[in-house]
Every structure is written in C-alpha cells, then in structure tokens.
Homo-oligomer: A and B are copies of this chain.
Amino acid sequence: MLLALSTWSEIEERLKSSTSVVVPIGSNEQHGPTGLLGTDWLCPEIIAHEASKRASDKVLVAPTFNIGMAQHHLAFPGTIFLRPSTFIAAIGDWVRSLGAHGFTRIYFLNGHGGNVASIEAAFSEIYADYSFRQQRAPFALKLKNWWDLAGVNALANRQFPTGHGSHATPSEIAVTQWAYPETIKTAAYSPPIAPTGPIREALDFRARYADGRMGSDPAQATPEKGGELVSMAANALIEDLAAFAAERAPA
C-alpha cells in the first residue's frame, strides 16, 4: 500500500491493525558516467514498492525522501543535497508527523551510504528530546540499507565478484536498469575499475575520482541481475519489517 496514493481515511483505518511504515530514503547525486542521478533514491523506492506489491497488507510505503547528504558529489552537475543539519531537521519533522498519527515502527530503507551518519544522528536528535524529559518515545526507529537486507549482499557478491566498489556500483545500477530499462546508458570506463580513497569536500572528490565512480565497474550491471536483487530485497524487506513490527518494548 502506497501512502501517497491512499486517502486519510484509508490510513486511519489501517492504523487500527498495523502501525508500521517504510520510508524509502536516498540521495540525488552523480553515479558515474552511466548511473542515473536518482539511483540512490530510486533503488529503495523500487524495492519498497515491489515489497508493497507483494504484501500490501504488511508493507505501507511513505513518499520517498529523495534528497540526502551528498556534499562530496557537488562538483558533478545534477547533485542536490541537504547539509546534515537540514537533513536532521527534516527527518525529525517526518518522524514527528508519522508519530502523531500513531505509527510506532518507522523503518527507513536507505539507498545511500553517505546518509547513514546523518540518519543515525537524526534518530539520536529525536530520541534526545524524550531522554532529556525521561520519557518513553512512542515509536521505534530503524535504519536499514537495502544492500544489508538478508541475502542481498551475498547475491551481489556472487553477481559481481570483482569491481563492486562503493559508489556507482553495478548492483545499484542493475536495480535501476531493471526498473527503468529505457534509461540504460553505456560508456567506455577508464580504468575499468575505479580508484578508491577518502571522501572530503566536493572539489577534492572530483580531483580524486575523475568520472565519479569509487572502486566500481558498472559495466557488469544488467537488468536481469537487477531484477534478482529487487526480488530478494523485497522479500527480505517484508520479513524484516514484520520482525520489527513484532518487537516489543521492554517493560
């Protein structure tokens, strides 16, 4: 079930029996010569929507939080990012909104490694209000990267034993190829596997990683491999969300 395509009364009804919700969260940033700028928000959106299609009663999907923390990519055109302080404020407002309706399990399915620190900081910022007041929070928050869903990393490693890398990876590009086959692009990658190294400000990043990739060989991506990843991830998400929903807070 997609929240944005539902009415308020449908959500009000659903909350009587289920109070969990998935928020796809990512980033709009350069993904090398062939990766889509939207890759990092499209992947969790694709997976969450697929999970919802397979188990609508178990998976309610919020709109996608599509701009993340990607300051290091800003020297590549098309990147849009929120600085961490803005990001933390925005996550806070999303959570307070969902919490006000009675959602007790808010699950962020993340598509961008660079978001992890800011999402965790945002969770702490939210919890801190309750901790200072010595109150219980009415909701639990969870962050999961889609590649960390059960079985997904193992599958990606089998699909791409070399050249997976950490940015503009063949696995994420494969996922978008499966969902948006009309956007598949090709390029002559040089070198085939991109270099790796530290991440600092945007100009430093572009000087180190000339075409935007980090450690990856996206040429190995295919829509078929993407479809396999989506299928495995969607099923794992359904399971993981159910386990989260079933968790009980300590007395």
**CB pair A75 B212 closer than 8 Å:** no
Q: Which residue of B lies closest to A4 (CB)?
A: B38
**Copy number in this complex?**
6
**CB pair A31 B4 closer than 8 Å:** no
Minimum distance in angstroms from A180 CB to a CB of chain B:
6
> Are A28 and B7 also in contact (CB < 8 A) when A74-B134, A93-B83, A124-B117 are?
no
**CB pair B71 A94 closer than 8 Å:** no
**CB pair A37 B3 closer than 8 Å:** yes
> Are A93 and B118 also in contact (CB < 8 A) when A72-B131, A74-B131, A208-B250 are?
no
Contact with B along A29-70 (1 / 0, CB 8 A): 011111111100110000000000000000000111111010
Q: Which residue of B lies closest to A116 (CB)?
A: B117
Residues A171-188 near B (CB distance < 8 A): 180, 183, 185
With an 8 A cutoff between CB atoms, is A189 at the interface? Answer: no
**CB pair B136 A8 closer than 8 Å:** no
